[in-house]
Copies of this chain bind each other. A is one copy, B any other.
């Protein structure tokens, strides 16, 4: 069954009569050629998955009637990855797509001392996240934050499960898989292509972050970000 996304059901959450967004209406009626009486699923991105029937196949305003609602409880853990936008936009876009597919609660972006990219478009990443949520049949839309400075980012983070991924020249820190405790609220910082500056690492450590590695190999920024996300999901597999 086709899954659609309607964050704010026009009829209101309590109403069983509603309609799809204009984009989804066009997609449902024109592309998928769905018609009156066809069954669809609609998620609000907040855990509610409505089973519904199309009552009016209008390509601009496809109306549906909710027949049943399944509410998925949030996961017993949450993953937040904070990463610097990559020089090549495609790389951060696929990180968002893949992270949403495998499971993530929040993605934050920051400009590090060695960041080469200073332009950031949240809206496009939000679209990619919505598409990935639908494609992977999930009921929750992860939060995508706007990019802020490294200092600003540190102020938005707390909790005991805070990590900064860094491959130092000297002694190898513990692998994230070994130090992350199950069912935590995880936050992992992933540096830009030029890595974190020494001062940024000191700031993070002073703020209570724990230095970790993600494995023996040197990973690209977006690979490291996805690897951290995958690893924290696997702890709960």
**Interface hit among A4-12, A149-157, A197-205, A226-234:** A226-234
Tell yes or no: A183 within 8 A of B by CB.
Answer: no
Q: Are A102 and B215 in contact (CB under 8 A)?
A: yes
CB interface residues, A 170-191, toward B, < 8 Å: 175, 177-178
A98 contacts which chain B residues (CB < 8 A)? 223, 226
CB-CB under 8 A for A219 and B136, given A102-B227, A231-B230: yes
Q: Which of B103, B226, B237 contacts A231 (CB 8 A)?
A: B237
Tell yes or no: A71 within 8 A of B by CB.
Answer: no
Tell yes or no: A217 within 8 A of B by CB.
Answer: yes
Q: Which of B136, B175, B220, B233 contacts A218 (CB 8 A)?
A: B136
Tell yes or no: A16 within 8 A of B by CB.
Answer: no
Tell yes or no: A44 within 8 A of B by CB.
Answer: no
Tell yes or no: A135 within 8 A of B by CB.
Answer: yes
Give the distance in Å from the alpha carbon of A102 to the alpha carbon of B175 in the complex.
14
A136 contacts which chain B residues (CB < 8 A)? 217-219
A234 contacts which chain B residues (CB < 8 A)? 177, 230-231, 234
Closest chain B residue, CB of each to CB of A137: B218
A227 contacts which chain B residues (CB < 8 A)? 102, 230
Q: Are B215 and A103 in contact (CB under 8 A)?
A: yes
Q: Are A220 and B135 in contact (CB under 8 A)?
A: yes
Give the distance in Å from the alpha carbon of A144 to the alpha carbon of B73 in the complex.
42
A94 contacts which chain B residues (CB < 8 A)? 94
CB-CB under 8 A for A223 and B101, given A136-B218, A137-B217: yes
Give the distance in Å from the alpha carbon of A230 to the alpha carbon of B136 in the complex.
18
Extra contacts besides A98-B223, A175-B237, A230-B231 (12): CB < 8 Å? A101-B217, A101-B220, A101-B223, A102-B217, A103-B215, A103-B216, A135-B218, A135-B220, A136-B219, A138-B217, A177-B234, A230-B230
